[in-house]
Amino acid sequence: MNKDNIISAILCGGTGSRLRPLTYYFQKSMIPIGSKQKPLLEYIIKLLKFYGIYDIVLLVGYKHEQILNYFEDGKRFGIKIKYFHDIEGYKGNGWAILNAYDKGIFNGFENILVYYGDIISNINLLEMIEQHKKRNSFVTLAVSKGYKLPIGIVKIDNDMKIIEIKEKPIIDANVGIGIFLLKIEALEILKNISKNYKNIELDLMNDLLPNLIKMNKNIDAYITNCFWYDIGSTEKYEKLDSNMIDSTFNFIFEKK
């Protein structure tokens, strides 16, 4: 697949309520990570650039000025950035991407790489793109095998006696990691779906993908053992190890 046919849409418009009080001061995708204390969003953008994706749309809302002032048009980072501001009254990332589509933001591109702005990952996007091409997928969803629960699991017998406790176990489950590649035609389907969602939140994972599956579209998993981390809460942010971030993501900060 020619990567010139791919544009990335990064979802970074939310208020980040689970990251308060940090997000009283920061847009959630702008929270600093690693020893260099660079914004989370910079790691995402540099990963995209590393894999040859130079056209990026930032779907912004809350505290969008912080993002705009830092990244501007992307020239400083060797990429091209467009911005689309959430429209008041349209809640959910489904509306964010659909409204941008209706305004022609994605014109000229055949595929959209959607990336949630509170996820950090070293996923091999080239492999994912090549699979998407080879299988002629309608949607390719990045999936990680196994998930560490943030809570303990208690097993109880019929007499209410606790017989086993597992603290934060890793469960055998396939987990979507907030990164997926879709053909532009999927947004025409989303537009039809949205007719039933006036004044209702519209979500890509909850509403678009399940409907595409019901329509028997070719929805494929890209199974990966990459590092990924959801920095969606204050607790998760506090547990993020700066040294680990430095060593894991050094490759995207090296000059190619």
* Residues 76-123 pLDDT 10s: 999 999 998 888 777 888 888 988 998 989 988 999 999 998 899 999
Q: What is the pLDDT of residue 146?
A: 64
pLDDT class for 203, splitting at 50, 70, 90?
A: confident
- Average the pLDDT over 141-167 and give the result: 74
Cβ 142 vs Cβ 222: under 8 Å: yes
From the CA atom positions of the chain, what is the Rg in Å? 19
Element (DSSP H or E) covering residue 229: strand 228-230
* Residues 218-229 pLDDT 10s: 999 999 988 888
Q: What is the pLDDT of residue 1?
A: 46
Topology at the third CATH level for domain 3-144+172-253: Spore Coat Polysaccharide Biosynthesis Protein SpsA; Chain A (3.90.550)
Per DSSP, the residues of 94-128 read HHHHHHHHHTTTTTT-SEEEEEETTEEE---HHHH
pTM above 0.95, yes or no: no
The number of beta carbons lying within 10 Å of the beta carbon of residue 154 is 11
Q: Of 118, 84, 114, nearest to 209 (Cα)?
A: 114
